[in-house]
């Protein structure tokens, strides 16, 4: 029998040959998932599906112990580190947790502990019950109370050195508080991103054409894997401490005591953590946290129970890679069944097409889901291979009853189709070949970097496609671009439909053309609102260079990149000239652009594509006649603070923190968020706390606000 069929046979019913083939298949599959999860921050299956693979592997191994492979997933935790960062060997390995799904698993877990410790019936075991945060585990090493290394888990034995990035997280103290700090302390815990921050980050990424993350965990991982710590600093990450590695002395003899010590040392610990004294209390805790799950602003995928007494933890020890004294009690994946009523195709600013299933509204884990992304054509056809959460071989049709799951707690996805309930007349869905806009431009499948057909479909209408135009106008008017009050998404759609605003320059000629348009007669408008709108438009005729560049909507040019370009070129004329030359493939200008801090190949190619297109050049030409673009001062090289790194802390009285930073940067200095040996000045105002202490400790020069102003000469 082929191994393909063996995958459906119960572990206990497999023949030895089948078991061998199954273990081989599972090892390969799990390793591939691990690689995508740990190294590429891009898992392609739900945690539940992944857990199911590991469980099957464990069940087969339990039945055929002689067949356990050297490369078995049960012998590994995660994948080997990705290589961009320096490697760090963990003084104490970072292990994983065994999973419990059913209540019986919890009962068995406790019975095992009792047996192992030979406790009699009357002896109570206390457990520290903690939410299981779905983030990335991190090991923070403190020597002499100072943070020296931060390392990811990696394969459990060796992780990646992400110290510079971790230092930008406000929940991670650079120095431990308290008097009797042990000389060596490794504090472990979870780095995570809140759900709200994740959604906001994806919005920004979408606007700049950057990477979109599937869930908060991946965005936290992606944010930590940055070579440039300033990018990590711009991403709101949090940290909860819950465990430890090497400790030269133990400040407590229980898990709960350690948690208190983490708090007194300056860490955040999870406020829902609770000491439980019986199986019933544990189960009640699991239920309570599951109920609270939807309301929490961070993802959790279960709870963790840990024997509270550390002497018992030590006696219990480990089985292969998991402790006997702890278990993760997972939540069942949240699922619901509903019917697909239609497929809506939307066109993004860059022309990418996204199909969305329109569903009968259904509650999944505390939220109502009405539409769910279908990703792309292959996904709908059920040929996304094992790379998608949808069960392989299932196609989705209008009228189908589907199973929805909220993966990673945030994004709902279709995981299966109930074939028995498929209406007889349901036909396979045909992905459109023409853009849904009135131009009906052709749709093509994008090519991948290797020249193969990619999964993403794109409208070829480019600048003629009205959807792309509308999306660009939305970006243009948005808060971080031209920030035009009164021109929100709805108004833009209306003005575009009416033909009043077709491209950015039209916004500025609207007041003049209103003699004919008579906006004040439109429903929802009056004299005052029209006057306010036109005033808002007038106010934006002057704009900073960085905002202007961002507002152009060039792919891969988000706010940070736009600012880097503005600083690099200083004036619109300089940037525009360079853009036009790059658009013509001028090697010298490309090399110049490449030399600008933070600018690389992808951005240069996007700028070249943008200015290489005559339609865009026209848009820019008409727009620049309407607005005045203010120069960005290039960082100066001949000031007292050029090339220095400065940190502002405490309250400033003569200017805001942002103004102070901007001024420092104009004068060629770098404004950093945390103090290190590389800091040249710390400007401390009233209320300065740990950063001032860090500066004193490291012997960094501390200035008052007045001393700083004197230094910068103003």
Q: Name the maximum alpha-carbon separation found in the chain.
A: 91
Nearer to ligand IVH, 276 or 304 (CB): 304
Which helix (H) or strand (E) segment holds residue 377: the answer is: helix 377-381
Rounded least distance, CB 323 to ligand IVH, Å: 5
Nearer to ligand IVH, 333 or 590 (CB): 333
**328 binds ligand IVH, rule: CB under 6 A:** yes
| Tokens 């940190």 belong to residue | 647
Q: Which of 133, 484, 543, 629 forms a contact with ligand IVH (CB under 6 A)?
A: 133
Look up residue 270 and give its two tokens: 């999870």
**96 binds ligand IVH, rule: CB under 6 A:** yes
Judged by CB under 6 A, the chain residues 184 through 203 that form the site for ligand IVH are 190
**# of chain residues touching ligand IVH (CB under 6 A):** 15
**Rounded Cα–Cα distance for residues 121 and 119 (Å):** 7
Rounded least distance, CB 289 to ligand IVH, Å: 11
Rounded least distance, CB 242 to ligand IVH, Å: 4
At how many degrees (to 10) do helices 16-34 and 47-63 cross? 150
From the list 377, 380, 373, 375, the residue with the least C-alpha distance to 400 is 380
Nearer to ligand IVH, 263 or 489 (CB): 263
Which backbone phi and psi does 669 adopt, to 5 degrees? -95, 170
| Tokens 């004329």 belong to residue | 573
Nearer to ligand IVH, 213 or 575 (CB): 213
Q: Which of 26, 95, 187, 608 forms a contact with ligand IVH (CB under 6 A)?
A: 95
Rounded least distance, CB 590 to ligand IVH, Å: 43
- Window of 18-26, 92-100, 165-173, 339-347 that interacts with ligand IVH by CB under 6 A: 92-100
**304 binds ligand IVH, rule: CB under 6 A:** yes
* Residue 455 neighbours by CB under 8 Å, 6+ apart: 375, 376, 377, 378, 379, 384, 445, 446
At how many degrees (to 10) do helices 489-497 and 466-477 cross? 140
From the list 303, 321, 351, the residue with the least C-alpha distance to 95 is 321
Nearer to ligand IVH, 137 or 616 (CB): 137
Position closest to ligand IVH via CB: 137
| Tokens 């619109």 belong to residue | 572
Judged by CB under 6 A, the chain residues 103 through 132 that form the site for ligand IVH are 130, 132
Nearer to ligand IVH, 35 or 54 (CB): 54
Rounded least distance, CB 130 to ligand IVH, Å: 4
Rounded least distance, CB 159 to ligand IVH, Å: 11
Tell me, residue by residue from 308 to 327, as one string, x for binding to ligand IVH by CB under 6 A and - for no binding: ---------------x--x-
Q: In the β-sheet with 99-100, what is the strand arrangement from edge to edge?
A: 99-100, 326-330, 300-307, 127-133, 274-276
- Written as one string, the DSSP assignment of 615-666 is HHHHHHHHHHTT-EEEPPPPPPSSSTTTT-EEEEES--SSS-HHHHHHHHHH
Judged by CB under 6 A, the chain residues 667 through 696 that form the site for ligand IVH are none
Tell me, residue by residue from 238 to 257, as one string, x for binding to ligand IVH by CB under 6 A and - for no binding: ----xx--------------
Rounded least distance, CB 228 to ligand IVH, Å: 25
From the list 613, 631, 632, 630, the residue with the least C-alpha distance to 621 is 613
Nearer to ligand IVH, 141 or 581 (CB): 141
By annotation, the residues acting in catalysis are 132
Look up residue 700 and give its two tokens: 């960094």
Q: Which of 79, 97, 125, 552 forms a contact with ligand IVH (CB under 6 A)?
A: 97
Rounded least distance, CB 245 to ligand IVH, Å: 10
**Rounded Cα–Cα distance for residues 226 and 233 (Å):** 10
From the list 212, 259, 269, the residue with the least C-alpha distance to 239 is 269
- In the DSSP assignment, the letter for residue 38 is I
**38 binds ligand IVH, rule: CB under 6 A:** no
* Residue 171 neighbours by CB under 8 Å, 6+ apart: 237, 238, 239, 240, 267, 268
Nearer to ligand IVH, 153 or 174 (CB): 153
**409 binds ligand IVH, rule: CB under 6 A:** no
- Window of 91-99, 254-262, 400-408, 442-450 that interacts with ligand IVH by CB under 6 A: 91-99
Site residues for ligand IVH per CB under 6 A: 95-97, 130, 132-133, 137, 153, 190, 242-243, 304, 323, 326, 328
């Amino acid at each position: 029998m082929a191994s393909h069929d063996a995958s459906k046979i119960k572990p206990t019913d497999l023949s030895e040959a089948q078991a061998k083939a199954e273990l081989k298949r599972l090892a390969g599959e799990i390793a591939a998932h691990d690689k995508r999860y740990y190294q590429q921050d891009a898992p392609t299956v739900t945690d539940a599906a992944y857990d199911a693979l590991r469980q099957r592997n464990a069940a087969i191994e339990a039945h055929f112990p002689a067949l356990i492979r050297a490369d078995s997933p049960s012998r590994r935790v995660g994948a080997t580190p990705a290589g961009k960062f320096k490697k760090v060997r963990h003084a104490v390995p970072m292990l994983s947790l065994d999973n419990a799904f059913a209540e019986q698993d919890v009962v068995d877990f406790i019975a095992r502990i009792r047996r192992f410790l030979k406790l009699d019936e009357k002896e109570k075991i206390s457990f520290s019950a903690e939410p299981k945060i779905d983030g990335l585990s991190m090991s923070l090493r403190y020597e002499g109370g100072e943070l020296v290394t931060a390392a990811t888990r990696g394969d459990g034995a060796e992780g990646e050195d992400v110290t510079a990035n971790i230092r930008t997280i406000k929940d991670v103290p650079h120095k431990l508080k308290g008097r009797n700090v042990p000389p060596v302390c490794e504090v472990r815990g979870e780095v995570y991103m809140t759900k709200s921050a994740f959604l906001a980050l994806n919005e920004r990424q979408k606007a700049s054409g950057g990477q979109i993350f599937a869930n908060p965990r991946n965005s936290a991982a992606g944010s930590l894997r940055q070579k440039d710590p300033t990018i990590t600093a711009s991403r709101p990450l949090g940290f909860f401490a819950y465990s430890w590695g090497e400790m030269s002395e133990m400040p407590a003899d229980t898990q709960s005591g350690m948690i208190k010590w983490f708090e007194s040392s300056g860490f955040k610990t999870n406020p829902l953590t609770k000491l439980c004294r019986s199986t019933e209390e544990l189960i009640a805790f699991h239920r309570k946290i599951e109920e609270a799950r939807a309301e929490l602003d961070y993802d959790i995928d279960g709870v963790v129970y840990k024997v509270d007494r550390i002497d018992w933890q030590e006696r219990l020890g480990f089985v292969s890679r998991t402790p006997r004294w702890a278990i993760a009690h997972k939540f069942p994946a949240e699922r619901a069944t509903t019917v697909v009523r239609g497929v809506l195709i939307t066109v993004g600013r860059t022309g990418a097409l996204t199909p969305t299933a329109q569903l009968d509204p259904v509650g999944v884990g505390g939220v109502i889901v009405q539409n769910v992304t279908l990703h792309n054509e292959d996904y709908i056809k059920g040929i996304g291979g094992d790379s998608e959460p949808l069960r392989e071989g299932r196609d989705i049709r209008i009228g189908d009853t589907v199973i929805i799951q909220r993966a990673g707690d945030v994004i709902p996805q279709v995981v299966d189709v109930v074939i028995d309930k498929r209406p007889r007349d349901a036909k396979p869905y045909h992905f459109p070949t023409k853009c849904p806009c009135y131009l009906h431009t052709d749709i093509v499948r994008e090519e991948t970097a290797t020249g193969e057909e990619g999964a993403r479909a794109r409208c070829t209408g480019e600048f003629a496609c009205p959807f792309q135009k509308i999306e660009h106008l939305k970006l243009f008017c948005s808060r971080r671009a031209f920030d035009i009050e009164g021109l929100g998404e709805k108004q833009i759609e209306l003005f575009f439909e009416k033909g009043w605003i077709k491209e950015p320059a039209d916004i500025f000629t609207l007041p003049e053309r209103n003699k004919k348009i008579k906006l004040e007669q439109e429903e929802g408008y009056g004299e005052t609102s029209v006057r306010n709108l036109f005033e808002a438009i007038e106010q934006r005729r002057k704009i900073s260079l960085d905002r202007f560049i961002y507002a152009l909507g060039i792919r891969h040019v988000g706010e940070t990149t736009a600012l880097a370009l503005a600083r690099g070129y200083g004036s619109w004329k300089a940037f525009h000239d360079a853009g036009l030359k790059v658009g013509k493939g001028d090697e010298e200008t490309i090399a110049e652009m490449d030399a600008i801090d933070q600018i690389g190949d992808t951005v240069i190619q996007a700028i070249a594509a943008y200015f290489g297109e005559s339609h865009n050049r026209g848009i820019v030409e008409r727009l620049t006649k309407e607005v005045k673009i203010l120069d960005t001062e290039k960082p100066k090289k001949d000031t007292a603070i050029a090339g220095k790194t400065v940190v502002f802390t405490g309250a400033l009285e003569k200017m805001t923190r942002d103004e102070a930073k901007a001024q420092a940067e104009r004068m060629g200095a770098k404004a950093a968020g945390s103090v290190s040996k590389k800091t040249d000045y710390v400007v401390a105002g009233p209320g300065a706390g740990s950063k001032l202490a860090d500066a004193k400790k490291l012997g960094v020069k501390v200035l008052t606000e007045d001393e700083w102003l004197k230094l910068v000469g103003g």
